[in-house]
């Protein structure tokens, strides 16, 4: 993906408990870390989350994103991420109020808006995410906070999200369509649509 033009590599970590799927752990992140110098954006879809923070940082994460819904002490979890020396992100499921991040917005580098319910690829984009992005961008004000969106990202959805204030996009199906020979063009199309809409 780096060779095709991806800026970051998004790593979905699922525990089969917080979400109904099971994916990779710290050992896999550690194994792929030497392959690229692109930042690893590690999205922890696990609960409880705190025991995993240091393990993924040691494995090579550059950004660690934790879910509002993954535990009772979001502030404590974000403190642990920052203390580990990596960028901190907070994630919102579609059914979670954006107000839940207001008390911790000063602690994060990134807010990840889920535009599908987490756990599976290939889901349809939830259009209400556009309004949530706009409200979060307004809430962030002049803070240097990235607004990232994950789920159903395509050439058809990325423009409206960029216009609403999103600046970071996680693409799965739209990126992998057509196989490895198409990755560079798929990224170019997504980037062009986002940049045109953002102005």
Domain membership of residue 1 (yes or no) is no
Instruction: Using only the alpha carbons of the chain, give its radius of gyration.
Output: 16
- Strand-pairing partners, residue 12, are 43
Q: For position 108, which CATH number holds? A: 3.20.20.70
Q: Please tell me the distance from the alpha carbon of residue 182 to that of residue 167, in angstroms, as a whole number.
A: 23
pLDDT in the model for residue 114: 94
Q: Domain containing 62: what range?
A: 9-198
Q: Which two tokens stand for residue 58?
A: 């040691």
Q: Please tell me the distance from the alpha carbon of residue 104 to that of residue 84, in angstroms, as a whole number.
A: 17
Query: Strand, helix or coil at 147?
Result: strand
pLDDT in the model for residue 199: 67
Task: Give residue-wise pLDDT tens across range 24-81.
Answer: 999 999 999 999 999 999 999 999 999 999 999 999 999 999 999 998 999 999 999 9
Q: Please tell me the distance from the alpha carbon of residue 194 to that of residue 136, in angstroms, as a whole number.
A: 18
Domain membership of residue 135 (yes or no) is yes
Residue spans of alpha helices (H) in the chain: 26-32, 50-59, 74-83, 128-140, 158-164, 173-176, 183-198
Task: Report percent pLDDT > 70 for the chain.
Answer: 97
Task: Give residue-wise pLDDT tens across range 122-150.
Answer: 678 999 999 999 999 999 999 999 999 99
Query: Which residue in the list 15, 62, 138, 150 is annotated as catalytic?
Result: 150
Q: Please tell me the distance from the alpha carbon of residue 72 to that of residue 168, in angstroms, as a whole number.
A: 27
Give the least confident one: 13-17, 88-92, 144-148.
Answer: 13-17
Domain membership of residue 4 (yes or no) is no
Query: Which residue in the list 7, 12, 15, 27 is annotated as catalytic?
Result: 12
138 counts as catalytic: no
Number of domains the chain contains: 1
pLDDT in the model for residue 21: 85
The chain-wide mean pLDDT, for the chain, equals 91
pLDDT in the model for residue 1: 58
Give the pLDDT band (50/70/90) at residue 2: low
Q: Which two tokens stand for residue 151?
A: 């789920």
150 counts as catalytic: yes
80: preceding bond cis by omega (within 30 degrees): no
Give the pLDDT band (50/70/90) at residue 183: confident
Give the pLDDT band (50/70/90) at residue 174: confident
């Amino acid at each position: 993906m780096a060779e095709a033009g991806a800026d970051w590599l998004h790593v979905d970590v699922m525990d089969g408990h917080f979400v109904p799927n099971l994916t990779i752990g710290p050992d896999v992140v550690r194994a792929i870390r030497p392959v690229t110098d692109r930042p690893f954006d590690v999205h922890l879809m696990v609960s409880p989350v705190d025991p995993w923070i240091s393990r993924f940082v040691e494995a090579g994460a550059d950004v660690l994103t934790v879910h509002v819904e993954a535990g009772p002490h979001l502030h404590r979890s974000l403190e642990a991420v920052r203390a580990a020396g990596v960028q901190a992100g907070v994630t919102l499921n579609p059914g979670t109020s954006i107000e839940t991040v207001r008390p911790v917005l000063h602690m994060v580098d990134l807010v990840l808006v889920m535009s599908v319910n987490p756990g599976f690829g290939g889901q349809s984009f939830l259009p209400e995410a556009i309004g949530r992005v706009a409200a979060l961008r307004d809430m962030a004000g002049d803070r240097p906070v990235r607004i990232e969106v994950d789920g159903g990202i395509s050439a058809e959805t990325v423009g409206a999200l960029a216009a609403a204030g999103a600046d970071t996009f996680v693409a799965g199906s739209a990126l992998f369509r057509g196989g490895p020979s198409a990755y560079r063009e798929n990224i170019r199309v997504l980037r062009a649509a986002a940049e045109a809409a953002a102005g």
